[in-house]
Amino acid sequence: LNERGAQRSLSKRKNAWRCAAATEGKQVGGKNQMLVYVPPHPLIKHWVSILRNEFSPPPMFRSAMAELGRLLIYEASRDWLLTVNGEVNTPCGVAEVEFIDPREPVKVVPILRAGLVLIEQAASVLPANQTFHLGFVRNEETLEASMYLNKLPEKFEEGARILVADPMLATGGTIVSALEEILKRGADISLIRVVAAVAAPPALKLLSEKFPGLRVYVGMIDEELNEKGYIVPGLGDAGDRSFGTA
Ligand code: URA
């Protein structure tokens, strides 16, 4: 191994837990552990690749983020949505059917700005949903997140299904603060799903320590952060690239 190779190998060993989580298609974590899922789907790889490309212009970047969000929300809602049974007449007979329960809308929490884009297509996957915005801004020196907008309800009712969208899980500061706000309002951690485009080991480690039982659905897990707290190789600033402010 040359020096660079040796360093990579060391960082791989340090992140051994991450490698398990990164195994595509394998759900890692039990009942009392956080579970990270990277759906092994070619479309997910495709949209992540478009996002990564520094030459994807903002409209292309935004639609790739929205498509990725739609696929991740589909995966995240697989064993989570509440249904009601019924019967309908088809042109040829009577069928037992199951509909999404309209009385139990999923509570969607986008973290501004880029979370808005990740949930842009949520309504095409979740027939019943309500959106509660959370805005965080990151101090570029300390990398600390502070909240500037909170549209969460005072209390979440028992059994509420909550979907939190934050495209980049880097240091974990923002998503941890967001989840703390949500849990303060009576949410059940096992009914929360986080969707993200790219995650890095520091955020996943923090989430797994603080929120056993949480489930995270992510397009890709990357190796590390740079000194500015950006994911490497990542995709850059998801908010700036979505809204053309880079
Ligand atoms: N936020 C981003 O938009 N990109 C990163 O890489 C990290 C945080």
Q: Is the pLDDT of residue 211 over 70?
A: yes
Contact 73, 47 (CB under 8 A): no
CB of 21 sitting under 6 A from ligand 1 = no
Q: Are 196 and 169 in contact (CB under 8 A)?
A: yes
> Minimal CA–CA distance to 217: which of 17, 15, 61, 27?
27
Which position has the higher pLDDT, 36 or 25? 36
Predicted TM-score (pTM) of the model is 0.87
Pocket of ligand 1 contains residue 237 by CB under 6 Å: yes
Whole-number pLDDT of residue 140 = 77
Given this model, what pLDDT does residue 27 score?
Answer: 54
CA angle 166, 126, 146 (to 5 degrees): 20
Least confident of 48-57, 100-109, 137-146, 203-212: 137-146
2 Cα–ligand 1 center, Å = 30
Predicted ipTM? 0.95
Residue with the nearest Cα to atom 4 of ligand 1? 237
User: What is the rounded (10 degree) CA torsion for 163, 147, 18, 226?
Assistant: 140
Ligand 1 neighbourhood includes 243 CB (under 6 angstroms): no
List the one residue out of 9, 10, 14, 38 whose CA is nearest residue 25.
38
Q: Is 90 exceeded by the pLDDT of residue 189?
A: yes
Cα-based angle 216, 48, 79 (whole degrees, multiple of 5): 35
Closest C-alpha to ligand 1, atom 2: 237
170 lines ligand 1 (CB under 6 A): yes
pLDDT for res 139: 82
The response to whether residue 115 sits with its C-beta less than 6 Å from ligand 1 reads no
> Ligand 1 within 6 A of 231 CB?
yes
- If you measure from the C-alpha of residue 115 to the centroid of ligand 1, how many angstroms do you get, rounded to a whole number? 12
* Region for 68 from its dihedrals, namely left if φ exceeds 0, alpha if ψ lies in -120 to 50, beta otherwise: alpha
Does residue 44 surpass a pLDDT of 60? yes
With a 6 Å cutoff on the Cβ, whether 240 touches ligand 1 is: no
pLDDT band at 31 (very low <50, low <70, confident <90, very high): low
